[in-house]
Amino acid sequence: MMGGATITGATRLYAIVGDPIAQVRSPEVFTQRFAEQGVDAVMIPLHVPADRFDAIVPALLALGNLDGVLVTVPFKARMAAHATRVGVTAATIDAVNALRREADGSWTGDMFDGVGFVRGAGRKGERIAGRRVTLFGAGGAGSAIGCALAQAGVASIDIVDTDARRAARLVETLTRAFPRCAFITARGVRDGNDMIVNASPVGMRPDDGLPGAIGRLDPSTLVGDVVITPAPTALIRHATQCGCAWVDGRDMHGGQVDALLAFFAGAARAGNASAPDAAH
Amino acid sequence: MMGGATITGATRLYAIVGDPIAQVRSPEVFTQRFAEQGVDAVMIPLHVPADRFDAIVPALLALGNLDGVLVTVPFKARMAAHATRVGVTAATIDAVNALRREADGSWTGDMFDGVGFVRGAGRKGERIAGRRVTLFGAGGAGSAIGCALAQAGVASIDIVDTDARRAARLVETLTRAFPRCAFITARGVRDGNDMIVNASPVGMRPDDGLPGAIGRLDPSTLVGDVVITPAPTALIRHATQCGCAWVDGRDMHGGQVDALLAFFAGAARAGNASAPDAAH
């Protein structure tokens, strides 16, 4: 059961901005977590009309009692320009989904969509480093996860997307940012790969199958899927049948909440999250 | 005990803006009242730095899920310019302490500091119409109460202020706005007056006495005091000793919350609050 928050004049604010906003879950989830931690703060939804975004955001960031911002559709790319500085992941893919106010009043932004996946795997005791990955989907989620996996030390990432040019662009971007990881475009799962991640929308419709031609998997393969509902997705069912460990959209979301709370608390610099060291 | 609010993406927002903000009580009070009414809304504190006020407020008013704003120190006068239209009281004294979003997205502002006093008296069953009033204090609170009393039909208001020019200016303003009520400046309580209101700061310090030379009062006199703490003030104690009915700062505050909730609910037009009919 969700507990309620008592809001006083001294309560600190975190906000999630989006258009539309009524569907977001973060106000409940974060307000509850703040209460559990004994932090006098709430997460409020802010409906920022898309056509007023660039006028409204600087005003919000000037509020004296707003300490953090989450960013959802359609603002993740546009918000990056409003950060004083951004972390490696955000700089690489030029999008942020969170900002925090620093002691000097400046704003640090970063992208945690992929970090949540890595943290979710970590919470299940799964090793990421050294894996050879096939990543389905080169959009926003795929880009963020590609960054996070490269930072977590995977050996290679093969990127599969129905839009071959989008896959090639992401290979180029990630290769520049993470020269020690091998990126290629691909059409399916390469022999010897031991991690498969779906960051495409395939699985969101009840009758969706697998995101690509994925055969029998070795039980050592780690399988991930960003799709939350309907659960389990065909890919997660397939992983279970093959005896593989898996990380689903729910795990990823839980991991991201942890990563965001650490970021808001200022602890991100020492943790798994990308360090905010790229000037913007 | 204050109940907690569950904040979801669909929760509607009301905000109180001020600088500083940590001391305000409205977030607790209004959030609790919304919950009691079954309204999915919360009142959040927004710390608007005074030097950024005119840049921040238009952005706030453009948010899609903000339905109302309360205004506290030092913004009551500056906020009036941001309303699409204002009520009679706000137009007369050129200050607002509340704004509500109308269905068309425009913002109606009004000043409820005085209406709260009139409502507080009404809740105690006290008649206001026809009274001959001595009002101590011609500042923000005194101006608002002068308006509200005139609108409630008092016969006359004698205005006492240590700053004689300020008292004279308020007499002039109120005479223009309410020609059927008699306003004069005064140095004390005139014989035959049957209502005394303190809207000055006298009473806020524990060793404060009465706000002026107030002798023995006829028990038919209605006594009011805007000062909330320390309670009871010397004036309220004096009223009790003389057998007079009284309305204290707490009553006034309770009356104002009722008036503001009615305003936010769109019911103010039919109630005691001043009608928002003055274009701005």
| Whether B132 and B99 share a structural domain | no
CATH number at residue B81: 3.40.50.10860
> Is the pLDDT assigned to residue A199 strictly greater than 50?
yes
CA B195 from chain center: how many Å?
18
How confident is the model at residue A271, as a pLDDT? 37
What is the structure's pLDDT at B5? 78
Inside any domain, residue B258: no
Contact check, Cβ <8 Å, A21/B9: yes
Asked whether residue B226 falls in the same domain as residue B238, the answer is yes
Within a domain: residue A40? yes
Residues in B closer than 8 angstroms to A31, CB to CB, are: 6-7
- Identify the CA nearest to A157 among candidates A166, A148, A165: A148
How many domains, chain B? 2
Is the Cβ of A72 closer than 8 Å to some Cβ of chain B?
no
According to the per-residue pLDDT averaged within each range, which of B139-143, B172-176, B228-232 is highest? B172-176
Is A218 contained in some domain?
A: yes
Instruction: Examine the domain organization and report whether A131 and A62 are in the same domain.
Output: no
Q: Tokens at residue A56, please? A: 């409204």
User: Do B100 and B227 lie in a common domain?
Assistant: no
Q: Is residue B127 part of a domain?
A: yes
Does A72 score more than 90 pLDDT? yes
- Rounded CA separation B24/B4 (Å): 17
Q: CA A197 to CA A143: how far, in whole Å?
A: 12
pLDDT tens-digit readout, B169-206: 999 999 999 999 999 999 999 999 999 999 999 999 98
At residue A197, the pLDDT reads 97
User: B150 and B161 share a domain?
Assistant: yes
User: Is B274 inside a domain boundary?
Assistant: no
One domain for residues A145 and A209? yes
- Compute the half-sphere exposure of residue B199: CA atoms within 13 Å on the CB side of its CA: 30
3-state secondary structure of B198: strand
Other Cβ atoms closer than 10 A to A1: 5
ipTM value, please give it. Answer: 0.85
Q: What percent of chain B is modeled with pLDDT above 70?
A: 94
Percentage of residues of chain A with pLDDT beyond 70:
94
B120 and B101 within one domain? no
Distance (Å, whole) CA B131 – CA B134: 10
Q: Show Cβ contacts of residue B73 under 8 Å, excluding neighbours closer than 6 positions.
A: B18, B19
B106-120 mean pLDDT: 94
Question: Which of B64, B87, B111 is at the close of a domain?
Answer: B111
Between CA B76 and CA B82 the distance in angstroms is 11
* Domain co-membership, A84 together with A129: no
Please name the member of A7, A10, A26 whose beta carbon is closest to the beta carbon of B5: A7
Q: Quick check: is B277 in a domain?
A: no
Question: Pick from B95, B111, B127: which residue ends a domain?
Answer: B111
Closest partner residue to B9 (CB to CB) among A9, A27, A42 is A27
Which residues of A are less than 8 Å from B31 in CB distance?
Answer: 6-7
pTM for the full predicted model: 0.87
pLDDT band at A266 (very low <50, low <70, confident <90, very high): confident
In a domain, B266, yes or no: no
For residue B23, give the nearest of A9, A19, A47 by CB distance.
A9
- Domain co-membership, A246 together with A157: yes
pLDDT category of residue B4 using cuts at 50, 70 and 90:
low
Q: Which CATH number belongs to the domain containing residue A148 in this structure?
A: 3.40.50.720
List A66, A76, A119, A128, catalytic entry: A76
Domain end residue (candidates: A50, A81, A111):
A111
Are A119 and A101 part of one and the same domain? Answer: no
Residue positions of B annotated with a catalytic role: 76
Do A16 and A128 belong to one domain? no
Give B33: exposed, middle or buried? Use CB within 10 Å, 0-12, 13-18, 19+. Answer: middle
Q: Which domain, by its residues, includes B240? A: 114-252
Residue A116 token pair: 């949540």
Q: Both B79 and B145 in a single domain?
A: no
CA distance A37 to chain B (A): 16
- Residue A136 domain-assigned? yes
For A120-157, what is each residue's pLDDT tens digit?
A: 999 999 999 999 999 999 999 999 999 999 999 999 99
For residues A247-275, give the mean pLDDT.
Answer: 77
- The secondary structure of residue B115, as a DSSP letter, is H
